[in-house]
C-alpha cells in the first residue's frame, strides 16, 4: 500500500469526508474528550503517516485478531485499523519458517525510530518458556526484543494483560502477561476477551493526536475506556433498581429484558465501556444479547470472577467496598452475641428464682413466716417473693422486752370550738441565794478599797 498518509489511505478505501469527520467525533467520544477535540483529531490523522505496527502473538486463541478483522461491512473503525501499516503479524504472512523470522527482524530494523508493538496472548515461564516458541525462541524473549525497539507497547486482550485463560486454575504453563517484559517502554493494557477494536483505535488516535498514550489506571488501562463500571452504563440498569430480575434462562424476565444479576452478571464489579461502544460494528454486546457480563476486563477474571453463572454478592448502596452479605454477616454476629448475653442473664435469673423458691418452701415447711396459713404467708403467695431471715431466739433466762406502747391518737377538735391557747412557757428558774448574798456581801466588796 502506498504510504502517503493515513487520510489518503482511508479515502482510497472509500471513506467519505463526512464519515471521516464522524469517525473523528466518535474517537473523541471514545476517549472521553469534549466534542471540541474532534477537529483536532481530524487534523492530526490527516497529517499523520501510517503507523508502522509489529504484532506478536503468544498463548491465545486468536480472538483479538478476529475482533480486528471480522467486519461484514467495514465501518470507519475497521477501516482505520485496516490502513495501519502492519509490518508483521504471523496470521497475515504468506511465508513461514526462516522467512517469517526474517520478516520480523526486517520490520524492526526498518524503523529505527520506533514502531508500535502490539502483543496478543500470554507468555509461559515453565520449561524455560518452551510451551510457546516463536521462530524457535521463547515468546517472552521475542516480546522483550520487540518491545525494546518500540515507541510504545500495547497489550491487547486479557491473556496479554494478565495471563488470561492460559493462567487460569493451576496455571500449568506458568503463563503471565507481558507488562514485566517491556522495560521502560510506554505500556498500555486493553483487557477484554476479546479486546474491543474501538478501544484499540481510540488509543492509536490519541497517540497520533497527542504523541502519547492516554491517561491510565494502575493496571495500565486507559481511563477513557476502563474508568467506569459496566453496571453504571448498562441499558438493563433500571430493572436492577426496580428489582426486576431474570431468574432462569428463557423465563419471562429474560424475555422482557430484565436484569441478569441473579443469573451471574458481573457488570456491578467490572470496569469497562462495553455498553457504550459495543461489539460487532457497535451493534450489540453480551448483556444486550441476553447473557450476563463475565467480567473479562477484570484482572485474572477466570479465577476471580468465575463461575460465570454464580451470583455476585449484592453491593451496599453508597458503600461500594461492602456487600449485603458482609453487612448481614456482621449483623448476624451482633445479634448472636446479644442473644448469648441475654441467655446467660436469663439463666442466672432463673437459677436465683429457684433458690429463693427453695428457701421459701423450706420456710413454709418449718411453719415460719411465709406459711400460707398466716396472713403474711398469704400475702407472700401473691406478693413479690421476700423471704425474711430467721427470727433471733432469745437467750434462756432473759425476759423478752415488752413491746413499746403505741400512743393513742389525739382526738380531732370539733368544728366551731375554739382551740385552747397554748400554755405559757414556764418562767426561768430563780437562782438559789448564796451565803454571801444572805450576809449582804456583794461581789467585789472584798477589794482594798472596801
Q: How far is the CB of 250 from ligand SF4 (least distance, A)?
A: 16
For the record, the C-alpha cell of 424 comes out as 405559757
CB-CB contact of 402 with 394 (8 Å): no
Q: Please answer whether residues 259 and 231 qualify as being in contact, where contact means their C-beta atoms are separated by less than 8 angstroms.
A: no
Among residues 177, 185, 138, which one has the least CA distance to residue 160? 177
- The binding track of 242-271 with respect to ligand SF4, each residue x by CB under 6 A or -, is -----------------xxx---x-xx---
**Interaction residues for ligand SF4, span 273-312 (CB under 6 A):** 287, 292-293
Q: Among residues 78 and 287, whose Cβ is nearest to ligand SF4?
A: 287
Q: Which residues contact 440 (CB under 8 A, 6 or more apart)?
A: none
CB distance 194 to 66 below 8 Å: yes
Given the rule CB under 6 A, which of 38-46, 169-177, 234-242, 334-342 is the region that contacts ligand SF4? 234-242
Cβ of residue 266: shortest distance to ligand SF4, in angstroms?
Answer: 7
Which of 192, 198, 231, 253 is the binder for ligand SF4 (CB under 6 A)? Answer: 231
Choices 39-47, 72-80, 228-236, 313-321; region in contact with ligand SF4 by CB under 6 A: 228-236
Name the residue whose CB lies closest to ligand SF4: 267
User: CA 85 to CA 362: how far, in whole Å?
Assistant: 106
Cβ distance to ligand SF4 smaller for residue 321 or 434: 321
Residue 221 in grid coordinates: 488501562
In the chain, the N- to C-terminal Cα span, in Å, equals 159
The candidate with the shortest Cα–Cα distance to 205, out of 107, 110, 76, is: 76
* DSSP label at residue 61: -
Q: Residue 66 or residue 325: which is nearer to ligand SF4 going by CB? A: 325
Q: Among 234, 271, 277, 294, indicate the residue that binds ligand SF4 (CB under 6 A).
A: 234
**Closest approach of ligand SF4 to the CB of residue 242, in Å:** 11
| 271, 218 contact by CB (below 8 A) | no
Least Å distance between CB 257 and ligand SF4?
9
* Site residues (vs ligand SF4, CB under 6 A): 230-231, 234, 236-237, 240, 259-261, 265, 267-268, 287, 292-293
Amino acid at each position: 500500500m502506498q504510504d502517503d498518509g493515513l487520510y489518503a489511505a482511508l479515502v482510497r478505501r472509500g471513506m467519505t469526508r463526512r464519515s471521516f469527520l464522524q469517525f473523528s467525533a466518535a474517537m473523541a467520544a471514545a476517549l472521553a474528550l469534549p466534542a471540541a477535540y474532534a477537529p483536532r483529531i481530524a487534523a492530526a490523522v490527516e497529517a499523520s503517516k501510517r503507523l508502522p505496527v509489529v504484532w506478536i502473538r503468544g498463548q491465545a486463541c486468536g480472538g483479538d485478531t478476529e475482533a480486528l478483522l471480522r467486519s461484514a461491512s467495514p465501518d470507519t473503525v475497521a477501516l482505520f485499523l485496516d490502513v495501519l501499516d502492519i509490518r508483521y503479524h504471523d496470521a497475515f504472512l504468506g511465508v513461514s519458517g526462516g522467512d517469517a523470522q526474517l520478516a520480523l527482524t526486517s520490520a524492526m530494523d526498518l524503523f529505527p525510530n520506533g514502531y508500535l508493538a502490539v502483543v496478543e496472548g500470554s507468555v509461559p515461564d515453565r520449561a524455560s518458556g518452551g510451551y510457546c516458541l516463536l521462530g524457535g525462541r521463547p515468546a517472552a524473549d521475542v516480546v522483550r526484543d520487540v518491545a525494546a525497539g518500540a515507541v510504545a507497547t500495547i497489550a491487547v486482550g486479557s491473556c496479554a494483560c494478565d495471563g488470561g485463560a492460559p493462567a487460569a486454575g493451576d496455571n500449568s504453563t506458568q503463563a503471565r502477561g507481558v507488562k514485566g517484559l517491556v522495560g521502560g517502554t510506554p505500556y498500555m493494557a486493553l483487557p477484554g476477551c476479546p479486546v474491543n477494536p474501538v478501544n484499540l483505535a481510540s488509543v492509536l488516535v490519541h497517540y497520533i493526536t497527542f504523541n502519547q498514550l492516554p491517561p491510565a489506571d494502575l493496571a495500565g488501562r486507559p481511563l477513557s475506556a476502563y474508568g467506569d463500571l459496566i453496571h453504571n452504563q448498562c441499558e438493563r440498569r433500571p430493572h436492577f433498581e426496580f428489582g426486576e430480575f431474570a431468574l432462569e434462562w428463557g423465563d419471562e424476565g429474560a424475555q422482557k429484558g430484565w436484569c441478569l444479576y441473579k443469573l451471574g452478571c458481573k457488570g456491578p464489579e467490572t470496569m469497562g465501556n462495553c455498553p457504550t461502544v459495543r461489539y460487532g460494528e457497535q451493534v450489540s454486546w453480551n448483556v444486550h444479547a441476553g447473557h450476563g457480563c463475565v467480567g473479562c476486563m477484570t484482572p485474572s477474571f477466570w479465577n476471580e470472577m468465575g463461575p460465570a453463572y454464580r451470583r455476585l454478592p449484592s453491593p451496599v448502596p453508597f458503600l461500594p467496598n461492602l456487600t449485603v452479605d458482609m453487612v448481614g454477616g456482621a449483623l448476624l454476629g451482633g445479634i448472636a452475641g446479644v442473644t448469648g448475653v441475654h441467655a446467660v442473664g436469663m439463666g442466672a435469673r432463673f437459677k436465683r428464682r429457684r433458690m429463693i423458691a427453695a428457701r421459701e418452701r423450706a420456710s413454709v415447711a418449718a411453719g415460719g413466716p411465709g406459711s400460707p396459713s398466716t396472713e403474711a404467708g398469704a400475702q407472700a403467695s401473691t406478693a413479690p417473693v421476700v423471704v425474711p431471715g430467721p427470727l433471733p431466739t432469745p437467750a434462756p433466762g432473759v425476759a423478752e422486752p415488752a413491746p413499746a406502747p403505741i400512743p393513742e391518737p389525739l382526738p380531732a377538735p370539733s368544728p366551731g370550738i375554739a382551740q385552747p391557747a397554748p400554755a405559757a412557757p414556764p418562767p426561768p428558774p430563780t437562782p438559789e441565794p448564796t451565803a454571801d448574798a444572805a450576809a449582804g456581801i456583794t461581789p467585789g466588796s472584798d477589794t482594798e478599797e472596801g
